């Protein structure tokens, strides 16, 4: 009596792994075939100093604020941020997938702390008003400087105001054609 079964010409030949006859392709064989035809892309490198943060809550803007510098507390930086309206984000407000940050939180103060940084947030509307106030103050200063320059001009010897901005980078050298 023959223990081997006869195979029809339509059936695939049995695949063997480690000497075991499965009678079909295994998942490992399928994955190996997939890996051979689909090269795995390397994960993107991220600078270790760039710290991820959970998504900001609706209507809020957040950032990491330094609480110490070179091992010494930096209350001046925290006080400035506090006066601007930045407040520590509570670990309780984190989405479930970001709860790992709560393990880094200072439980007594209810803050999310990583190394020497505290995750702080501010109402986006307040931040927009702050940016507008700074922009308006800058424009007022520029108008004042222009007024002072106009007042200081001597008749026949105007002060030339060249308001062009250029950006240069040592690695990028631009060739400029000569005028003919």
Segment 60-92, tens digit of pLDDT: 999 999 888 888 888 899 999 999 999 998 888
Question: Which pLDDT score, from 0 to 100, does residue 83 have?
Answer: 92
Specify whether the CB–CB gap between 125 and 170 falls below 8 A.
no
Which tokens hold the place of 102? 């709560």
Cβ atoms of 1 and 12 closer than 8 Å: no
- Is residue 105 predicted with pLDDT exceeding 70? no
Could you read off the pLDDT of 160-174 as tens digits, one per residue?
777 677 777 666 665
Residue 130 has pLDDT above 70, yes or no: yes
Task: Tell me the two tokens of residue 11.
Answer: 């059936």
Report the pLDDT value the prediction gives residue 156, as an integer from 0 to 100: 79
């Amino acid at each position: 009596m023959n223990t081997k079964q006869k195979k029809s010409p339509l059936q695939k030949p049995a695949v063997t792994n480690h000497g075991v006859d499965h009678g079909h392709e295994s998942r490992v064989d399928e994955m190996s075939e997939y890996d051979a035809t689909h090269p795995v892309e390397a994960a993107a490198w991220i600078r270790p100093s760039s710290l991820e943060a959970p998504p900001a809550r609706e209507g809020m803007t957040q950032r990491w604020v330094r609480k110490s510098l070179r091992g010494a507390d930096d209350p001046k930086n925290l006080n400035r941020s506090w006066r601007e309206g930045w407040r520590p984000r509570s670990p309780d407000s984190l989405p479930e997938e970001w709860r790992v940050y709560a393990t880094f939180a200072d439980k007594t103060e209810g803050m999310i702390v990583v190394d020497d940084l505290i995750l702080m947030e501010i109402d986006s509307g307040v931040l927009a008003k702050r940016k507008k106030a700074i922009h308006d103050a800058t424009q007022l200063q520029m108008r004042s400087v222009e007024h002072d320059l106009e007042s200081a001009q001597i008749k026949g010897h105007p002060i030339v105001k060249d308001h062009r901005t250029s950006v240069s980078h040592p690695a990028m050298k631009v060739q400029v054609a000569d005028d003919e």
